[in-house]
Amino acid sequence: MTEEHVLVHTEGRTGVVTLNRPKALNALTRTMVETIAAALDRWEHDHGVATVVITGAGERGLCAGGDIRSIHKDAKAGGKASAAFWRDEYRLNARIARYPKPYVAVMDGIVMGGGVGVSAHGSVRIVTERSGVAMPETGIGFVPDVGGTYLLALAPGELGTHLALTGAVVGAGDALLCGLADHFVP
């Protein structure tokens, strides 16, 4: 029996998505992206679901981004799976940004790259004292993706530019200041 990497269920009128790869810091795979998208499709017109909440399993964080190991393996093999993953991931992030119901992201612990994509585009973004939010793609030669350049461009002054160029990790207070989160909950 294989472990489900995304747990999807409802609690009352809330649709709950739990990223469930805690040993891999809940790093996203294409199958995970497809599962989240399918849940959002089901719940969009379901009058029994009023709100969607996304969270991560384990103690370390919501999501450390895309599964870099599988992307690297695919690139070395000359495959096309990475391009398909990014296409689907970007579509999901755009979908989250325009989702018609409240989409609540609990950004506890590590939230980087693709983790920012599945959370910071939501309508309600919650950080905690443990939150570490970053777009570290510059460290591997990419620009901040998953709509990160858009989000960082909205930060005051040149804070977004600094975060984009350095990949620096910010805590709850700076995530709020930069517009990557809306609320702090201990």
- Check: CB of residue 114 under 8 Å from CB of residue 146: yes
Between the two ends of the chain, the Cα-to-Cα distance in Å is 36
Tokens representing 85?
Answer: 């993953």
φ and ψ at residue 26, rounded to 5 degrees: 60, 30
- Residue 179 is a catalytic residue: no
The catalytically annotated residue of 15, 56, 65, 66 is 66
- Residue 114 is a catalytic residue: yes
- Residue 137 is a catalytic residue: yes
The catalytically annotated residue of 145, 147, 160, 174 is 145
The catalytically annotated residue of 15, 56, 109, 114 is 114
The catalytically annotated residue of 67, 88, 89, 137 is 137
Q: Give the dihedral of Cα atoms 13, 33, 66, 154; nearest 10 deg.
A: -60
Would you put residue 62 in left (φ > 0), alpha (ψ -120 to 50) or beta? alpha
Which residues does the annotation mark as catalytic?
A: 66, 114, 137, 145
